[in-house]
Amino acid sequence: MLLFRHNRHGRVTTFSEYRQGGGFVALTKALQEMTPLQVQQTVIDSGLRGRGGAGFPTGKKWSFVPRDLPGPRWLICNCDEMEPGTCKDRILLEANPYSLIEGIVLACYAIGVRHAFIFIRRGYEQAAANLQLALAEAKAAGLLGTNINGSGFDCDIELHLSAGRYICGEETALMNALEGRRANPRVKPPFPAVKGLWGGPTVVNNVESLANIPDIIMHGAAWFRALARIATAAGTKLFCVSGHVRQPACVELPLGVELGELIDGSCGGMRPGSRFKACLPGGASTPFLTAEHLNLPLDFDTVAAAGSRLGTGGVVVFDQDTCMVAATLNLIRFYARESCGWCTPCREGLPFVVRLLEKFEAGEGSEEHIAILREHVKYLNYAFCALAPGAMGPVEGLLRHFEDELREHVISRKCPFQKP
Amino acid sequence: MIPETLKNELLTRVAHAVTPREAAVDVMNALQAHYGWLTDAAVVEAAGLLGLSTLQVEELATFYEMIYRRPVGKKVIHVCDSISCWALAGESLLERIAGHLGIKVGETTADGCFTLLPCCCLGNCTEAPTMMIGTAIHNRLTPQTALVCIEGERKSIEGGPR
Ligand SMILES: Cc1cc2nc3c(=O)[nH]c(=O)nc-3n(C[C@H](O)[C@H](O)[C@H](O)COP(=O)(O)O)c2cc1C
Ligand code: SF4
Ligand code: FES
């Protein structure tokens, strides 16, 4: 265990407990013995991939930041976490806010950032309070602020409280939100690494990604890679398992753990009377996996090869009594409501898909509707940002694995799962 | 009008920001906490504090799920209707609460205590079904426990100052 190793049962870790457990040793070590480029190289070598959903290699993202432009560079920690089925960042921060703070300072050192922000969603007041206290403690101990540990390196971290809107988690919308602008996404390129917050080079990283950094610096890249269950993966992952399992839970496990093991081992299996039918492997935007995938090792590449995405690691499990059309409808309703309205394919297309799925549920669907649904999986890729293509992930999964179930709605002219 | 102390607090917050409008959400939240919702007067005040036009504030105010541009009850009940909560509660929880309160979703109770709204994932998916009353999260709900929570909140609203 790495991310959860400082956790105490039922309460937040204290500053002194974190330090006694080896906390802030990595930061001290880096500031004394390593150059910023060495820190970055260690993270590159570690194979750490972004935990916010896209799985982009963290160290590589840092390396895109030009170091020779005038003006400040920025780092934003993304704690918007509104992806349905995902609550790992909250659970991590409610147990221990210090790993994230140490990770942010290390990242700032590597990239040469003076001011970092933590963008935190509404509803995460406890996590925000923990962070506020932890920031004050770190500052008082000389681990944050000016001349950290006598090294001459300065770094400050500020909390930015949001007011609830899923699109704010998209990195360019996030920058608009932070600047106090309406949080529509920005056009890419220019990419944030070159031109981001207030026009300066900006890195956006997820909470869990950054919280991994201290132990990577402390123990080295090889150690981190070896934590994973399979050779092509690196590190551990927070999986939050919800839905029809006996004990829904957020657990830290090696990447490469098999889906079935996650459900049976950590969550006590399916709840009484339930059999596994399907799951979302990594939040609302990932295509369904089915019983044929219970032996699938969960890592970015392996899940992608199976036609889905590891995403956030928010696993939502459905049993045999779940109508997959109804589940998909719930997901698309979420996306239609959260569409920021900026571009037409998403603003108009998602409500249209909602109406299509409602037709199937009402027994008014047809073969032609199935074809139209399939076309929309393609068309919504032409939207302005990743929200709309993500929204179509479950629809794609529905068409791939549950086309028969969809057709049954057409043939029997009703939802076969509806109670009479 | 907001009290002088709050105004000064907010002016300090704005002065501390990298650019004034960075503080927009904090300012809107504070004004909303004061008035109960973001009134027209509050939009004008926010614009003044932030150096923005009222239209620019409106653009922001209407974007966020938890900034209320219409009158709301003393506490807003946000019931999560995202996938993990749906898997366990279906669509019935919200309907049961609406029936109990005698209002439709989106409306405010006649006594002014509650406004009922569906909301996006509250990040408590492993403890679903979930709702938030004011800022308090309530987890692992059944229709029965949800109603108990709501009546408990009603007592505390009626019993004490806001
Ligand atoms: C609609 C949308 C919402 C997103 N929400 C979040 C979020 O809440 N938290 C997060 O870390 N990443 C979110 N992302 C991904 C971010 O854009 C970005 O890729 C991520 O924060 C980068 O961090 P990482 O490289 O450490 O994963 C979202 C992306 C999209 C398209
Ligand atoms: S795809 Fe949707 S969320 Fe993204 S910019 Fe277009 S309307 Fe906004
Ligand atoms: S889906 Fe309801 S709290 Fe996440």
Predicted confidence (pLDDT) per residue in A342-387, tens digit: 999 999 999 999 999 999 999 999 999 999 999 999 999 999 999 9
A381 CA from centroid of ligand 2 (Å): 11
Mean pLDDT of chain B: 95
Mean pLDDT of chain A: 97
The helix/strand/coil state of A120 is: strand
The helix/strand/coil state of A354 is: helix
- pLDDT at res. B91: 83
- Cβ contact, residue pair A182, B59, below 8 Å: yes
B126 CA from centroid of ligand 2 (Å): 28
- Cβ of A185 closer than 6 Å to ligand 2, yes or no, is yes
- Cβ of A379 closer than 6 Å to ligand 2, yes or no, is no
Whether this model's ipTM surpasses 0.85 comes out as yes
- pLDDT at res. A418: 85
* Nearest 10 degrees: Cα torsion A140, A144, A145, A146: 100
A7-50, pLDDT tens digit by residue? Answer: 998 999 999 999 999 999 999 999 999 999 999 999 999 999 99
A384 CA from centroid of ligand 2 (Å): 6
Q: How many CA atoms lie within 13 A of A234 on its CB side?
A: 25
Closest ligand 3 atom to B121 CA: 4
Report in angstroms the alpha-carbon separations of B62 from A163, B75, B81: 11, 19, 21
CA nearest to A103, candidates A147, A60, A144: A144
Strand order in the sheet with A314-319: A249-254, A236-243, A314-319, A276-280, A289-290
A265 CA from centroid of ligand 2 (Å): 39
What is the torsional sign of CA B126, B128, B133, B136?
negative
Q: Chain A residue closest to B13 (CA)? A: A160
Mean pLDDT in residue range A111-137: 97
- Cβ of A110 closer than 6 Å to ligand 2, yes or no, is no
Q: Is the pLDDT at B21 greater than 70, yes or no?
A: yes
Q: How many CB atoms lie within 10 A of CB A200?
A: 17
Q: Is the pLDDT at A419 greater than 80, yes or no?
A: no
- Cβ of A312 closer than 6 Å to ligand 1, yes or no, is no
- Residue A172 has phi, psi (to 5 degrees) of -80, -35
- Cβ of A52 closer than 6 Å to ligand 1, yes or no, is yes
Closest ligand 3 atom to B85 CA: 2
Q: Chain A residue closest to B131 (CA)? A: A123
Q: Using CA atoms, how far apart are residues A20 and A14, in angstroms rounded to an integer?
A: 10
Contact A208, A3 (CB under 8 A): yes
Mean pLDDT in residue range A398-404: 98
Provide DSSP, A220-267.
-HHHHHHTSSSTT--SEEEEEEEESBSS-EEEEEETT-BHHHIIIIIS
Best mutation target, B28, B50, B121, to test chain A (most A CBs within 10 A) = B121
- Cβ contact, residue pair B22, A180, below 8 Å: yes
Contact A218, A29 (CB under 8 A): yes
- Cβ of A391 closer than 6 Å to ligand 2, yes or no, is no
- pLDDT at res. B90: 80
A131-171, pLDDT tens digit by residue? Answer: 999 999 999 999 999 999 999 999 999 999 999 999 999 99
A44 CA from centroid of ligand 1 (Å): 20
Q: Per CB distance under 8 Å, which residues of B are interface residues toward A?
A: 18-26, 28-29, 50, 59-60, 63-67, 81-84, 86-88, 119-128, 132, 135, 137
The helix/strand/coil state of B137 is: strand
B95-133, pLDDT tens digit by residue? Answer: 999 999 999 999 999 999 999 999 999 999 999 999 999
Q: Is the pLDDT at B158 greater than 90, yes or no?
A: no
Query: Is the pLDDT higher at A268 or at A419?
Result: A268
Mean pLDDT in residue range A127-131: 98
- The residue type at A237: K
B59-104, pLDDT tens digit by residue? Answer: 999 999 999 999 999 999 999 999 999 999 888 899 999 999 999 9
Strand order in the sheet with B114-119: B114-119, B75-80, B131-133, B136-138
- pLDDT at res. B161: 54
Whose atoms come closest to the Cα of A118: which ligand?
1
A79-113, pLDDT tens digit by residue? Answer: 999 999 999 999 999 999 999 999 999 999 999 99
Q: Is the pLDDT at A301 greater than 50, yes or no?
A: yes
Mean pLDDT in residue range A50-69: 96
Cα angle at A60 between A59 and A61, to 5 degrees? Answer: 90
- Cβ contact, residue pair A248, B128, below 8 Å: yes
Q: What is the pTM of this model?
A: 0.97
Given pLDDT bands bounded at 50, 70 and 90, which one contains residue B162? very low
Contact A357, A332 (CB under 8 A): yes
